[in-house]
């Protein structure tokens, strides 16, 4: 079988034929450009549409990753600013095949990651007759610098994602895909991105279902304030002390890209280090300008609770030991956290309450989670729980509750599989801890360099991978993750009254009101602070 050539709107691209795990064929197109390179004068700006090209473009290898620091290895990856590429994997190239499309948005705190197959390989999902698209988007300051001017209002990285979705919508039928059945899904910052697309006018009509894994925009780490001040700090650190945004822009566009990699660590404040996950270049509320379209023009919470979102079926959930990913940095802060337990509170709470109230809330938190005992490295489980609740679980519960005011097609899950595939937990040194760590779910969805050997060796792992990918793919196809009786369990939709969820373990089962006491504790704090909590009645 010769290398396939597909005509897209901008020109022709050539891919390769590869084998799935059962020996059947699929077509791979890697490193496909979806926008103009955001380089030179385009650095920090919204992406421009791709120009038509002549000849046939080889789509055999991945394009460069965006400049970044690897989240796990902490290695600096220079990559290339010309990084706006996507990858398409499909079993059919017949335009009338109408195959459901799944577009994956990678995580990494808006600061690292890519769509490459070293982590996000397609072979597990493609067994269920879907098309997989993975994307790169600009990271950290490259993607999320904000100067509050029309040229750089912020959110360039999210606008990259929109440009990729436009490309998919326009071209996916040429790869056998159905442009009227596109599901966006993502994990961590990718999950938060999914929820941003659900409220952005720029994303309207570009997708039809959404899956958010371990992240929503209601987490502190998914939203930045004081963005303009941060940009000036970057300039000052690199040698340009100015209050003129245009002078700063000109300077920052001339700086070598490697000087901007991991710039967050150079401008983060001491207080932010103590309180926050160290992610400071993230999405913002943009100033409105007449000559540029905003991705997000008002507070996302206000948009969500007023029901002004794209009403699409939603699958959302989290892993049972999410907080382990935050534990190691916290162990270095135990002295200050014992002295000031208010540092466990979310930024949203701190910004709404007095210092006196923050001290009181912190004391209540220490009493609730730690029985007022000294917080030590011996109670990893409890430390993990409070960090998970603050950074991931409570924001997801809040999001799902607000969404459920208007949408009835919501499927919530709690992921607890704990096998040799839980690579992130192992990498962090927490193999002995129960449950699934943040990011562990990815190894059940994507074939990659780490899980390939285990997959071949253990039949049981094949069963779990098949179970997870079938749930995800069936939701993408039909908006119903359990359309048949394959698992002897019907995943029933979430309601505000019972808070139904699917417990994903070696055997699937339904439950209600997960982490109830812990979620009610945070609800109470948010309500007392005058913040919207679990329902509109809390406003």
- Residue positions annotated with a catalytic role: 188, 322, 438
| Contact predicate 295/202, CB 8 Å | yes
Query: What are the b/e assignments for 410-434, b being 16+ CB within 10 Å?
Result: bbbbbbbbbbbbbbbbebbebeebe
For β-strands 76-77 and 68-69, DSSP reports them as antiparallel
Which three-class secondary structure state does DSSP give residue 513?
coil
Length of the chain: 539
Q: Please provide the DSSP assignment of 64-77 as one string.
A: PPPSEE-TTT--EE
The structure tokens listed for 508 are: 């699937």
- Residue 307 DSSP one-character state: T
Q: At 17, give phi and psi (nearest 5°).
A: -100, 135
Burial class (CB within 10 angstroms; exposed 0-12, middle 13-18, buried 19+) of 371: exposed
What is the maximal distance between C-alpha atoms in the chain? 71
Residue 274 parent element (H or E): helix 270-275
Give yes or no for a contact between 462 and 447, defined as CB atoms under 8 angstroms apart: no
C-alpha closest to that of 44 among 143, 111, 110, 112: 143
Question: 106: which 2 tokens?
Answer: 């990678």
Q: Give the whole-angstrom CA distance, residue 311 versus residue 289.
A: 27
Report residue 235 CA to chain centroid gap.
28
Instruction: Kindly state the DSSP code that residue 391 receives in the 8-state scheme.
Output: I
Q: Please name which of 93, 91, 421, 474 lies closest in space to residue 315, comparing C-alpha atoms.
A: 474
CA–CA separation, 54 and 286 (whole Å): 37
Q: Look at strands 56-58 and 11-14 and give their pairing.
A: parallel
Cα torsion 392, 394, 399, 404 to 10°: value is 130
With vertex at residue 191, the alpha carbon angle to CA 233 and CA 349, rounded to the nearest 5 degrees, is 60
Angle subtended at Cα 223 by Cα 226 and Cα 138, rounded to the nearest 5 degrees: 100
- Beta strands 68-69; 11-14: pairing state: unpaired
For residues 42 and 361, what is the distance between their CA atoms, to the nearest angstrom?
A: 45
Nearest one of 213, 237, 105, 254 to 168, comparing CA atoms: 105
Which whole-number Å values give the CA distances from 436 to 186, 203, 303, 419, 519, in the listed order?
Answer: 17, 32, 32, 9, 19
């Amino acid at each position: 079988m010769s290398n396939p050539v597909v005509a897209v709107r901008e020109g022709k691209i050539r891919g390769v034929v590869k084998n799935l795990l059962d020996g059947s064929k699929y077509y791979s197109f890697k490193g496909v450009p979806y926008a103009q390179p955001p380089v030179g004068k385009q650095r920090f700006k919204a992406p421009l549409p791709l120009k038509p090209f002549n000849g046939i473009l080889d789509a055999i290898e991945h394009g460069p990753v965006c400049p970044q620091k690897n989240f796990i290895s902490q290695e600096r990856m220079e990559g290339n600013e010309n990084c706006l590429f996507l990858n398409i994997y499909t079993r059919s190239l017949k335009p009338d095949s109408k195959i459901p499309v799944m577009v994956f948005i990678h995580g990494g705190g808006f600061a690292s990651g890519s769509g490459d197959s070293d982590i996000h390989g397609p072979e597990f999902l493609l067994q269920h007759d879907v098309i997989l698209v993975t994307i790169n988007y600009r990271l950290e300051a490259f993607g999320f610098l904000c100067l509050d001017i029309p040229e750089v209002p912020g959110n360039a990285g999210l606008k990259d994602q929109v440009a990729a979705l436009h490309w998919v919508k326009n071209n996916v039928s040429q790869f056998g895909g159905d442009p009227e059945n596109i599901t966006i899904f993502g994990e961590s910052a990718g999950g938060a991105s999914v929820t941003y697309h659900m409220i952005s006018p720029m994303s309207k009509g570009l997708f039809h279902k959404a899956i958010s894994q371990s992240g929503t925009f209601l987490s502190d780490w998914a939203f930045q304030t004081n963005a303009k001040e941060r940009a000036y700090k970057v300039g000052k650190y690199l040698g340009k002390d100015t209050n003129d945004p245009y002078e700063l822009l000109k300077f920052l566009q001339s700086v070598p890209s490697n000087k901007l990699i991991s710039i967050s660590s150079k401008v983060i404040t001491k207080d932010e280090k103590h309180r926050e996950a160290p992610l400071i270049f993230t999405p913002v509320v943009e100033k409105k300008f007449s000559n540029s379209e905003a991705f997000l023009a008002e507070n996302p919470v206000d948009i969500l609770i007023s029901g002004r979102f794209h009403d699409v079926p939603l699958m959302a959930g989290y892993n049972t030991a999410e907080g382990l990913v935050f534990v190691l940095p916290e162990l270095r802060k135990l002295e200050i956290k014992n002295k000031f337990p208010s540092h466990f509170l979310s930024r949203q709470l701190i910004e709404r309450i007095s210092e006196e109230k923050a001290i009181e809330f912190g004391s209540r938190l220490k009493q609730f989670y730690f029985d007022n005992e000294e917080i030590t490295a011996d109670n990893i489980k409890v430390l993990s729980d409070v960090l998970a609740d603050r950074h991931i679980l409570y924001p997801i519960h809040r999001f799902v509750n607000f969404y459920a005011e208007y949408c009835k097609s919501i499927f919530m899950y709690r992921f607890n599989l704990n096998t040799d595939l839980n690579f992130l937990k192992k990498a962090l040194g927490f193999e002995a801890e129960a449950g699934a760590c943040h990011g562990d779910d990815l190894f059940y969805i994507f074939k990659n360099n780490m899980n390939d050997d285990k997959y071949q060796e253990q039949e049981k792992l094949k069963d779990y991978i098949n179970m997870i990918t079938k749930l995800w793919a069936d939701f993408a196809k039909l908006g119903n993750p359990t359309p048949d009786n394959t698992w002897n369990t019907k995943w029933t939709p979430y309601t505000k009254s019972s808070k139904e969820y699917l417990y994903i373990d070696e055997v699937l089962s339904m439950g209600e009101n997960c982490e109830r006491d812990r979620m009610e504790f945070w609800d109470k704090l948010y309500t007392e602070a005058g913040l919207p909590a679990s329902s509109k009645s809390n406003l």
